[in-house]
Amino acid sequence: MASIRTIQLFRAARSANFVFSLVTLLFFYTMALSLKVPFWSVMGLSFVASFIISYVNFWSVDLKGTQYEQVIRYAVGVSWVVALVGAVLSFWPVKPFMGGLMMTSAIYALMGVLEQRLSNRVYLEGLMEYLVSVVIIFIIGFLTTSWLG
């Protein structure tokens, strides 16, 4: 009976960790975009922050450590994609908070899908949820951007 409670606590802790990671990254990406630094600086900052957070999240999926190489590969891949999104948003006349939200939605989808993949629970409904949420956030970001300069 106690082992059942432990599993439920573990699932709740992973969900809370995922949400807190996303909130932390939202603030960090917003800060990185508001500094008005060159795009390569935004890329570097985004890559480092994304790698640290995504590595911890992927590592927590399999605490036994049997998928270590895959965890590293996923963390580097997610970080690289988010760094590229950050570079694009550096040139896009988007407000820093909206840019941070767009970057956070990208890492939300990538980490969510890859965490499902690590735990061997990939379902079409989950994939569609992640895809639709990213598309909606990017459409809102595009519509709220002031292109007048």
**103 located within any domain:** yes
**What tokens were used for 25?**
């990254």
**131 located within any domain:** yes
Q: What span, in angstroms and rounded, lies between the C-alpha atoms of 129 and 140?
A: 17
**148 located within any domain:** no
| Domain, as residue range, for 27 | 2-143
Number of structural domains in the chain: 1
The answer to whether 46 touches 99, Cβ cutoff 8 Å, is no
The answer to whether 30 touches 97, Cβ cutoff 8 Å, is yes
Confidence label for 65 from pLDDT (cuts 50, 70 and 90):
low
Interval 125-140 mean pLDDT:
93
What pTM value is reported for the model?
A: 0.89
**100 located within any domain:** yes
Interval 41-58 mean pLDDT:
95
Question: Residue 147: phi, psi to the nearest 5?
Answer: -90, 5
Condensed to tens digits (0 to 9), the pLDDT of residues 71-84 reads 999 999 999 999 99
Condensed to tens digits (0 to 9), the pLDDT of residues 4-45 reads 555 677 778 888 888 999 999 999 999 999 998 999 999 999
